Amino acid sequence: MTPATSRAVLVVNGASRRGQASAATAERLVRAQGWRDLEVRRVTSGDELAPALREAAASRPDLLVVGGGDGSISCAAGAVAGTGVTLGVLPLGTANDFARTLQVPTTLTGAVAALAEGRVVDVDLGRVGATAYLNVASIGLSVGVTEKLSPRLKKRLGPLAYPVATLAAYRAHEPFSARLEFPDGDHEPLELDDLLQVAVGNGRHYCGGNAVSPTASLDDHLLDVYAIVRGRLREHVSIARLLKDGSFVDHERVTHVATRRVRVVTEPTLGVNLDGEVAARTPADFTVERNAVRVVVPQHSDAARLDGPGAGPRAAGPPRDPEP
């Protein structure tokens, strides 16, 4: 994408962890790249974000650059999906997991440089009903973590806020039951009890750098579904040690499947966390929208390794049930 011949819109979410402090710098750095036509929109709250992004996408710029956290980027992805508008990412949130998956630099200078020097790839978009998400949708413990993650805690501790909030949520967690149904018939329904968490991943990273599974990818056209059965604290500690590379899915207390569609029914009805925002409730239908979002990645990024002509999805393997 060539700045001299392209039109761009920059939207910065001032409510994100670094949004307010970095807004002026982000605008200055983007302008310095020499975009032919640049429009800048700053929002100060989550309520303003979605309308601003919809309006920006409707104006059909060549590039919609979003400065914010994963919730902001997911909202933008839903706005540009299927429109042909390319998404650019400035990681100004706490976890910045989508940027991590794309291998976008964490510094503003590096992230802005990637917008002009990078390449455009297509990635998948997860949906819960009509609501979009990029990284992971989850039920159970993660909702409690989100509720414990106050803006003050995130601004004060940064990524360290996640383990602090996780410990607090774990102490208050109430186990639940879930039925996983697979409308395409690629797996038999699963009845699971005494659960800590169910998650449906579209991307690779979540919760500050944890991996959904060792094979998870943003462009494999599959959802990685895992369920963790509640156990003793030492068992959850052993799972936690495997979160960074995703190998926890092979733990005896974890069920993991890859699929294209799944319906999750829980008892009791529970909230669903979408990239850090509790934005749906069970029962919930999860789908993957293939190659729905065009996004700029650095030249060196291998995040969309399956992107391109002739690339096909990885196979959906059979589930492995946890030990009772």
pLDDT of residue 19: 81
Question: Would the pLDDT of 147 be above 60?
Answer: yes
Task: Find the mean pLDDT for residues 154-181.
Answer: 80
Q: Report the percent of the chain where pLDDT is more than 70.
A: 92
Q: Which CATH architecture group holds 132-288?
A: Sandwich (2.60)
pLDDT at res. 309: 43
Q: Computed from CA positions of residues 72, 140, 239, 186, in that sequence, does the dihedral angle turn out positive or negative?
A: negative
Higher pLDDT, 133 or 162: 133
Q: What percent of the chain stands above pLDDT 90?
A: 60
Residue 229 pLDDT > 60: yes
Confidence of residue 306 (pLDDT cuts 50, 70, 90): low
63-77, 214-228, 247-261, 306-320: segment of lowest average pLDDT: 306-320
The pLDDT tens digits for 235-279 are 777 777 877 888 888 988 999 999 999 999 999 999 999 998 889
Closest CA to 15 of 49, 41, 39: 49
According to the CATH classification, is domain 3-117 in 3.40.50.10330?
yes
pLDDT at 308 over 80: no
| pLDDT greater than 80 at residue 56 | yes
Q: How far apart are the first and last CA of the chain?
A: 53
Computed over every residue of the chain, the mean pLDDT equals 87
**3-state class of 271 per DSSP?**
strand
The domain ranges of the chain are: 3-117, 132-288
Element (H, E) at 155: helix 151-157
Contacts of the segment 149-154: beta carbons below 8 A, 24+ positions apart: 149/94, 149/276, 151/15, 151/17, 154/17, 154/94
Residues 32, 185: Cα–Cα separation, whole Å: 52
Least confident of 104-108, 190-194, 245-249: 245-249
39/245 Cα distance (integer angstroms)? 39
Top pLDDT among 170 and 12 is at 12
The predicted pLDDT at position 161 comes to 75
pLDDT band of residue 324 (cuts 50, 70, 90) is very low
- Where is pLDDT greater, at 20 or 321? 20
Digit-coded pLDDT (tens) for 290-305: 999 999 999 999 887 7
